[in-house]
Structure 1
């Protein structure tokens, strides 16, 4: 899979943990790395961000994205990285999934969370990419913003996560 031109790693990240996992995956398998970004700037205050996201989830609001992947059709395997917010996908990720046709593609989800696990993120990715082959996802504990822990996938912890990603990639081939 290394340096595959048909491989895309797309991710959404607030504190950098999901981005760190995306970068580790790219180091191992190659491919193009793209961050999902919203048109409207997100709140920097954690509690305001949580409140805005809960409202978006409840109202099924899909934020406009500045991220556009012009040559999306060329990608056969797509890693989709997301944090868990309110035990679900951030609406920006739902917006991304809603924007493209995943028919015949292989989706490989990965997730970072604050200690409560992947929530419904993997099942949401599956249900939003029905015509794709969705592989087993990888989830890892990232930061705990409520406790002031932001980017924790760094240094020795990054090495540990890197080894776990190696094992996961072997399992999913």
Structure 2
């Protein structure tokens, strides 16, 4: 299922029992207040996708930040993340969400790191109770796909409705190709989201 289909279903469900256009607008506005879009983005590609989703559904847009940010050097971060994945270390988050219980739908965006879910996203999913919520993962990657990331989201959200995720090719940092979500690539990403 494509992302826009999911988005349309969410807004249709909340509006289907309403009689007037005004009431429908109020319900959609109320629904968007119950949507959280949280994302991790190192090169701003995942951030760009999060912003496109935000344009479509509204809600709150929140970047995941760490208490101790990752180093800037690519090889150093790759080594650190590999060690975190190996040991199961969950880096503490600087980002705090005080009203998680008010959200019904949580979009979770991230890049693929080492063909896995990045440790900060694992921290988020371990720190917050998403039981009973609809969780929609979205991903950018260097062309190798999501690896085990979407299945890890499902594993970490056993009492949530985790719907099929959305994935698109972003940059390839190890090759020096960083932010790519502009121009034609941004148009392609928008079309992928809308299909």
Q: Same fold (TM over 0.5)?
A: yes
Give the one of 68, 73, 95 matched to 1:40: 68
Give the one of 151, 157, 178 matched to 1:129: 157
User: How many Å separate the matches in 2 of 1:136 and 1:41?
Assistant: 30
Matched, 1:149 2:177: yes
Return structure 1 stretches of 4+ with deviation > 4 angstroms: none
User: How many Å separate the matches in 1 of 2:142 and 2:119?
Assistant: 18
1:43 is paired with a residue of what secondary structure?
Answer: coil
The count of residues paired between Structure 1 and Structure 2 equals: 167
* TM-score under structure 1 length normalisation: 0.94
User: How many Å separate the matches in 2 of 1:41 and 1:10?
Assistant: 17
Larger of the two Rg values belongs to structure: 2
User: How many Å separate the matches in 1 of 2:37 and 2:151?
Assistant: 19
Aligned equivalent of 1:104? 132
1:41 CA displacement: 1.6
Matched, 1:79 2:107: yes
Deviations 1:10-52 (A, max 9, x none): 0001000000000000011111000011000211011111100
Aligned-residue Cα RMSD (Å) equals 0.9
What runs of 5+ residues in structure 2 fail to find an aligned partner? 1-10, 12-27
What runs of 5+ residues in structure 1 fail to find an aligned partner? 168-173
